[in-house]
Structure 1
Amino acid sequence: MSTPADGETTALRRPDPVRWIWYALGGRLSRRYSAWVLHDTTTRTWVLRHMARAFVQMMVPIGAVLIFLPGEFWIRGMAALGGLLLGMFYSVAYMPEAAEHRVKQAGYPVGTATAVREDAARVREAEDSVRRRAAAAKRAARYRERQGR
């Protein structure tokens, strides 16, 4: 795992709910959360985490539409739903760039998140390959046993 640009290593420390909301809304966390930001943008569930942050970001304008716009609630609700769907579409379209921006804000060089995710994918693929080979060997042994060889 890379370290922040200033060379300081940090432990994986999760932010409290208030700081997480600040982070989800695009705010920068202090250096002590740098390792967590890298983990947040590179773990297996990074796509779901990104979508949760995007959803939190959109709750502010969606809430404003539902509360302050005049008209029947179902019309405001449909407008809010349309905005939410469009916002999630754009959020998913720019997911890798947004993750890299968050990692850069945490003090890591640009491209760190992508490199960590690619390394993890290579490790997972190697482990899956070993597992598949072992399963194939086991099936072949059972087949040979049934054939009487």
Structure 2
Amino acid sequence: MQPDQEVPPRVRPGPLRWIAYAMGAGLPERHRTWVLYDTTTRTWVWRHVVRTFVQLAVPIALVLLLVPGAFWIRAMAALGGLILGMAFSLAYMTEAVENRVKKAGYAPGSAQAVRDLAGREREALDSERRRAAAAKRAVRYRDRRNR
């Protein structure tokens, strides 16, 4: 995006559209900037985990409700599926997120580039904050020594 271009507003999808998005559906063009935000904000990993739980809720519910047998066996099968599904989802988290961003119309690698830039900016701010705190401590130390 060029500096003279206006940034489109970030429009969050409604609950039903978000559930479809969590299940893997694409969103309309007006949600494009929200998808990039969703996949690059500081909480993007937790958002991915929540989307994964939404995806896994349907098969887990089906196992718990429809599979014959003792409930504890169904519960253990559901737990095993949940653990396996979460492990798979976390292993391919960045690829899944990049695919969501690509569906929204961004170039592949856009989410990682935005997260990297935000990380560098956070590091610069933290470094400046630590530098200022160290300077204040140095002044206090000098004042105490000069008394």
* Per-residue deviation, residues 89-139 of structure 1 (Å, max 9, x unmatched): 111111110110000000001010000000000000000000000001111
Aligned to 1:55: 53
- For 1:99, the equivalent position in structure 2 comes to 97
Deviation at 1:8, TM superposition (A): 9.7
1:106-145 maps to which residues of 2 (within 5 A)?
106-145=104-143
Given residue 44 of structure 1, which amino acid in structure 2 is its aligned partner?
R
The number of residue pairs the alignment matches comes to 145
Aligned position for 1:26: 24
Misfit runs of 4+, over 4 Å: none
Aligned mates of 2:48, 2:77 — CA distance in 1: 23
SS in 1 for 2:132: helix
Partner deviation per Cα, 1:47-68 (whole Å, 9 max, x = no partner):
0000000000000110110001
Q: What amino acid sits opposite 2:13 in the alignment?
A: P
Q: Rate the CA distance shift 1:8–1:125 in 2: closer, same or farther, 3 A.
A: closer
- Aligned equivalents of 1:31 and 1:86: distance in 2? 33
Note the residue ranges of structure 2 that are not aligned, 5 or more in a row.
Answer: none
Mapped contact 1:10–1:33 kept (Cα < 8 A): no
Counterpart CA distance in 2 for 1:138 and 1:73 is 62
Deviation at 1:84, TM superposition (A): 0.4
**Corresponding residue of 2:62:** 64
Q: Deviations over 1:61-92 (max 9, x none)?
A: 10110001011111111110111011111111
The two structures, once aligned, show a CA RMSD in angstroms of: 1.7
Q: Which runs of 5+ in 1 are unaligned?
A: none
TM-score (norm 2): 0.94
Change (3 A) 1:8 1:110: farther
Q: CA deviation at 1:10?
A: 3.2
Question: How far 1:9 sits from its partner (Å)?
Answer: 5.7
